[in-house]
Structure 1
Amino acid sequence: MWVLVFFDLPTDTKKERRIASKFRKKLLNDGFSMFQFSIYMRFCASRENAQVHTKRVKASLPEKGHVGILNITDKQFGMMELYFGTQKTETEKPSQQLELF
């Protein structure tokens, strides 16, 4: 599963910029990586793990602004077409995770 977080937060005042920066840093600390300027993504090994990270994002939502959270499967993510200018690029591959039982 992939969790994508889309956000558009106000940055008119110094306080608003600080709040937006804090939200972004929380996403990074939770293992999200920047896909585009206001779109962050994280690979999760299972639906349950995706729900955990979705709850963390919800817990750190700022008072103002718009935030969207989207969960998609690895197959759906792999069907995305990405371009850098006119050059087609590959989608990010999920990281390999070691499971111990």
Structure 2
Amino acid sequence: MRLVLFFDLPVGTAKQRKDYRLFRKFIVKEGFLPLQESVYAKLVVNDAAASSALARVRKHRPPAGLVQILKVTESQFATMEYITGKRPDFEEVDTMEELLVL
């Protein structure tokens, strides 16, 4: 499943710009990859991982603005159509394989 994160944060003051930078840095560190300027997506293996990621985003939410997360299945995400533009050029991990360390 994918978590699609949308955010619209104010950047009118120096404090708001700092909050924006810290939040963006946090979500990138958490594994969210950009789809658009304020739209990011993350691949999660199950509902428990999705709930955990959602809780971490709630904990690090900025004090102002709008942050939304939409859970979609991998099949739904795969049906996304590009009307204009093209798919981003970054290498994306799109496998559900997990690493087992013994």
With the length of structure 1 as denominator, give the TM-score of the two structures. Answer: 0.85
More strand by share: 1
Aligned counterpart, 1:60: 60
Q: Aligned pairs, how many?
A: 98
1:23 aligns with 2:27: no
Q: Which runs of 5+ in 1 are unaligned?
A: none
- Which consecutive residues of structure 2, in runs of 5 or more, have no partner in the other structure? none
Cα-Cα RMSD: 2.1
The separation in 2 between residues aligned to 1:82 and 1:48, in whole angstroms, is 30
Q: CA deviation at 1:83?
A: 3.9
Q: Does 1:46 align with 2:38?
A: no
Q: For residues 58-80 of structure 1, what are the alpha-carbon distances to aligned partners after superposition, in whole Å with 9 as ceiling and x for unaligned?
A: 11111110111111000110111
What is the CA deviation profile of residues 3-34 of structure 1, one whole-angstrom value per residue up to 9, with x for unaligned ones?
Answer: 01100000011111010010000000101111
> Does the CA-based 8 Å contact 1:33-1:40 persist in structure 2?
yes
Q: Which runs of 4+ in 1 moved over 6 A?
A: none
